Structure 1
Amino acid sequence: MAEMAPSLKTHSFEEVAKHNHKDDCWLIISGKVYDITSFLDDHPGGDEVLITATAKDATDEFEDVGHSDSAREMMSKYFVGEVDSSTLPAKAQYKPPQASSAADQGAGNLIKILQFVIPLLILGLAFALKQFGKKEQ
């Protein structure tokens, strides 16, 4: 009896994220879900790069590599459905560091200065003691 193709349906992010290892590997690329388990051994970049792209939206990683037209055409045979975009986790937003007060900045600058000056003072003291020891003899 022939094996039935997986149903092409809408998958939640949580469902797709469970398929995150060598024996069961699904990716989300441009809102589509691909079961690439059978392709892992054939991927020119190795299987590890694909496995690390699971459990997240891998669109940026896929696009950054610059895949060929033939690679893009090949994807259709691994297509298993769409991802429910309402279940995707929010992308992390860049948050600039909190502005510190002038007192905090001053203390930070003082520490940086002391990290430089204290070793110089110790070296100077050691040199002076060495010179003083020579005069005493």
Structure 2
Amino acid sequence: MGSNSEVYLFDEVAKHNHKKDCWIIISGKVYDVTPFLEEHPGGDEVLLLAVEKDATDDFNDVGHSDSAREQMEKYYVGKVDTSTIPAQPNYKLPPQAAAPAEQSSGLVVKLLQFLLPLLILGAAFALQYYNKK
């Protein structure tokens, strides 16, 4: 890890949000990943989507290897003052809003489970009937 122990405000880090100047926050640490953009196995778009927020969950969800975690230390530039990071928005639908869609799709599935075998059976009888003529 670099010897730089500078502490940045979230707004300062968020300004570094494009291909020529890209900083990300992971586990309270700030990384300047600009030189790594072209080398990143997932492409530069993945890293650019991680700017202007705390990307810890995104990073952990991918399941990076130990060597990837070691490699990122060379991009370390400091820490972020975690009290300045805005709360992440919650994009989950409330249960009431999701329920009608689940009910209607469940009805369609049940209807198809009933009708599909009848259609197949009807087609088999029709083929048998026309083949006898």
Normalised-by-shorter TM-score class:
0.5 to 0.7
**Displacement of 1:90:** 1.4
- Counterpart mapping for 1:53-132 below 5 A: 53-93=50-90, 96=94
Distance 1:66 1:97 in 2: 29
Distance 1:90 1:15 in 2: 17
TM-score norm. by structure 1 comes to 0.63
- Structure 1 equivalent of residue 20 of structure 2: 23
Distance 1:29 1:47 in 2: 17
Name the aligned partner's letter for residue 66 of structure 1: G
Query: For 1:26, what is the secondary structure of its paired residue?
Result: strand
TM-score norm. by structure 2 comes to 0.65
Identify the match of residue 46 of structure 1 among 17, 31, 43: 43
Name the aligned partner's letter for residue 77 of structure 2: V
**Displacement of 1:64:** 0.6
CA change 1:54–1:6 in 2 (3 A) is farther
RMSD of aligned C-alpha atoms? 2.1
Q: Percent identity?
A: 66
CA offset digits 1:20-65 (Å, max 9, x no partner):
0000000000000000000001001100110011000000110011
Distance 1:70 1:7 in 2: 22
Query: For 1:71, what is the secondary structure of its paired residue?
Result: helix
Name the aligned partner's letter for residue 44 of structure 1: P
CA offset digits 1:104-135 (Å, max 9, x no partner):
xxxxxxxxxxxxxxxxxxxxxxxxxxxxxxxx
- Structure 2 equivalent of residue 34 of structure 1: 31
Task: Flag the structure with larger Rg.
Answer: 1
Unaligned runs of 5+ in 1: 100-137
